[in-house]
Structure 1
Amino acid sequence: MPLISLTLRAAAAALAMMATSPAGAQSGAADGQKLAFDRGKGNCLTCHEIKGGDLPGTIGPKLENLKSKYPDRGDLVAILTDETRRNPLTVMPPFGRNRILTEQEINAIVDFLQTL
Structure 2
Amino acid sequence: MRTLSALVLTLAAITTQAAESDSIAEGREIAADRNRGNCYSCHMADGAQMTGNGGPPLMQMQMRFPDREVLKAQIADPRVRNPNTVMPPYGAHGILTARELELVVDYIHSL
Instruction: Using the TM superposition, name which of 66-75 and 85-94 deviates more.
Output: 66-75
C-alpha offsets along residues 48-102 of structure 1, whole Å, 9 cap, x if unaligned? 1111111111111111143232210011101110000111011110000000000
Q: Which residue of 2 aligns with 1:78?
A: 73
Structural mapping, 1:1-12, within 5 Å: none
Question: TM-score under structure 2 normalisation?
Answer: 0.81
Quick one: which of 62, 65, 86 aligns to 1:67?
62
Q: Which residue of 1 aligns with 2:35?
A: 40
Bigger Rg over Cα = 2
CA distance in 2, matches of 1:22, 1:67: 19
Matched, 1:27 2:5: no
CA distance in 1, matches of 2:64, 2:95: 25
CA distance in 2, matches of 1:50, 1:33: 10
Unaligned runs of 5+ in 1: 1-20
1:35 maps to amino acid: I
Instruction: Using the TM superposition, name which of 78-87 and 56-65 deviates more.
Output: 56-65
1:88 maps to amino acid: P
CA distance in 2, matches of 1:43, 1:97: 16
CA distance in 2, matches of 1:102, 1:84: 18
Q: Matched residues, percent identical?
A: 40
Matched, 1:114 2:109: yes
1:111 maps to amino acid: D
CA distance in 2, matches of 1:89, 1:22: 39
Equivalenced residues, count: 96
